[in-house]
Amino acid sequence: MSKAKSGQAREPLFQLSRRGVISPAKAWGIRITAVLLGFVACGLIALLLIDKLQEDPSQIGRFYSDFIQGSFGKGKVWKYLKDTAMLLCISLALVPAFRMRFWNIGGEGQTLVSVLGAIAVNIYLGGKIPEWLLLILMFVGAVLSGAVWAGIPAIFRAKWGTNETLFTLMMNYVATFLVSYCLVIWVPNGSSSLSKMETGRLPGIGQTYIPIIIVVLLITVALFVYLKYTKQGYEISVVGESIRTARYIGINEKKVIIRTMIFSGALCGIAGYLIAAGLDHTITAESIGGRGFTGILVAWLGKFNPLGMILTAALVQLLNQGASQISRDFNVRGALPDVFVGIILFFVIASEFFINYEVRYRGHHTRDQERTGGVK
């Protein structure tokens, strides 16, 4: 009998197999290695593409230090902490829905509408009622707006099974245009740019940003407790893990979906309130600046664990600010700095694969095989 290519074939180049359990130390080792490799890859690309580095490769040290300088340079620390806190706040608002496998990508619109809610209260009532009452009403306005904006797609999903991803995405555009429309009404001079408002400002404690940072940290802890130790948090996990198990146990998954999305939207409302009353004091269609989408990344990287997300929000913010520092220092324009951010995040995400799977290359034999492997 003639058998095909006997003896010529070798064992496969590499094989993948799923790991059973991996120690946390090893998992973190893989993650940190991935980040470091990501930085190395960035450096190589920078050497190839940035003019200043081509002329003088010794500047590469400065390239790396810019990632630190961007966030921890002189006078930048508070801004970094504030920006991280805001990013974290918006990311946290997405977590309850994500835990339920409800893919809400409308955090951008939900937060924007909340800012709009707070600003609207300020415009119509600012100066007419005491400041403390105004601040409370702005809070109510923001939270209600966020809850409604998130509640609508939830109700449609629960009642008619619409696709929540498309729905929430579309709601972002509606929110943007709603803001533009309101600005046309509120700013009659045609510039459509609302000047900073003097009323409805949250007081600072010492440093202006401290209240915001404290509030966000409190939300982080509260959300962690809610998800892990309350009956509602447990229901969210069950619905997220398996709708069929939820039904089997008598959980009304429609109710849980609507309730959780309204809660998510209300959290976006708090983020919007902090922006409206604590930071910007005005609104544009760009007030959120994509943080509703970056927040999705932060939540995923943090595996939907509020405490872990403190780290991922800090990392993502660090990279973003490092990228803008590089664009200033090396005079690079366009998308290149964002490419660096993308590369590092790609390495971080890819590291999860190597945490879950083991790769074995050809030639890694045991002694027994080496002894007999060559015999034909």
Residues contributing to the site for other proteins (CB under 8 A): 1, 3-7, 9-12, 15, 17-21, 229-234, 237-238, 241-242, 244-245, 247-252, 358, 365-366, 368-369, 372, 375-376
CA–CA separation, 59 and 210 (whole Å): 36
Our CB check for other proteins shows the closer of 239 and 344 to be 239
Tracing tokens 């090396």 back to the chain, one arrives at 330
Q: What is the largest CA-CA distance in the chain?
A: 98
Residue 243: name the closest of 339, 353, 161 by CA. Answer: 161
CA–CA separation, 217 and 202 (whole Å): 17
CA–CA separation, 263 and 268 (whole Å): 9
CB of 365 to other proteins, least distance (A): 8
CB of 6 to other proteins, least distance (A): 5
CB of 369 to other proteins, least distance (A): 5
Our CB check for other proteins shows the closer of 238 and 296 to be 238
Our CB check for other proteins shows the closer of 256 and 274 to be 256
Our CB check for other proteins shows the closer of 55 and 368 to be 368
CB of 31 to other proteins, least distance (A): 19
Our CB check for other proteins shows the closer of 303 and 328 to be 303
CA distances from 166 to 12, 169, 304 (A): 42, 5, 21
CB of 283 to other proteins, least distance (A): 35
Query: How many residues does this entry show for the chain?
Result: 376
CB of 36 to other proteins, least distance (A): 25
Our CB check for other proteins shows the closer of 195 and 366 to be 366
210-213 LR contacts (CB < 8 Å, sep 24+): 211/278, 212/82, 212/85, 212/86, 212/274, 212/278, 212/279, 213/81, 213/82, 213/85
- Is the separation of the CB atoms in 114 and 140 below 8 Å? no
- H-helix or E-strand containing 358? strand 357-361
Our CB check for other proteins shows the closer of 24 and 250 to be 250
- Is the separation of the CB atoms in 187 and 193 below 8 Å? yes
- H-helix or E-strand containing 175? helix 164-186
Within 10 angstroms of residue 194's Cβ, the number of other Cβ atoms is 18
Kindly state the tokens that stand for 37: 């490799």
CB of 115 to other proteins, least distance (A): 30
Our CB check for other proteins shows the closer of 328 and 364 to be 364
Kindly state the tokens that stand for 286: 């760009």
CB of 113 to other proteins, least distance (A): 28
CA–CA separation, 172 and 162 (whole Å): 16
CB of 18 to other proteins, least distance (A): 6
Kindly state the tokens that stand for 138: 């702005």
Look up residue 60 and give its DSSP letter.
Answer: H
- Is the separation of the CB atoms in 65 and 325 below 8 Å? no
CB of 87 to other proteins, least distance (A): 27
Our CB check for other proteins shows the closer of 108 and 235 to be 235
- H-helix or E-strand containing 34? helix 24-49
Our CB check for other proteins shows the closer of 12 and 203 to be 12
